[in-house]
Amino acid sequence: MIEVRKNGERIKISFPYNPDYISKIKTIEGYRWHPEDKCWSVPRSEFETLLSIFDGKSIAIDP
C-alpha cells in the first residue's frame, strides 16, 4: 500500500521498497528522498500527477 500525507507545501509518500514505484516517483518534478524518514516527497502542486502515475494501486491518503 502507498501512504500519502500532506506536509506543508509538500506531499510525503511512503511504501515498502518497490523499484517500479521509485521509478514512477522520479518522473515527478521536484521529488526528494528523505532517508531519515524513509519516505519520498513531491510538491503539493503535483498531487494529481501522483494519483495519475499510481492509478489502480492501493493508496491511503491522510488528510
Q: Count structural domains, the chain.
A: 1
- CATH number of the domain where residue 36 is located: 3.40.1170.30
pLDDT at 30: 98
Range(s) of the domain holding residue 55: 2-62
pLDDT at 61: 93
- pLDDT tens-digit profile of 3-48? 999 989 999 999 999 999 999 999 999 999 999 999 999 999 999 9
The C-alpha cell 495519475 sits at 52
pLDDT at 63 over 90: no
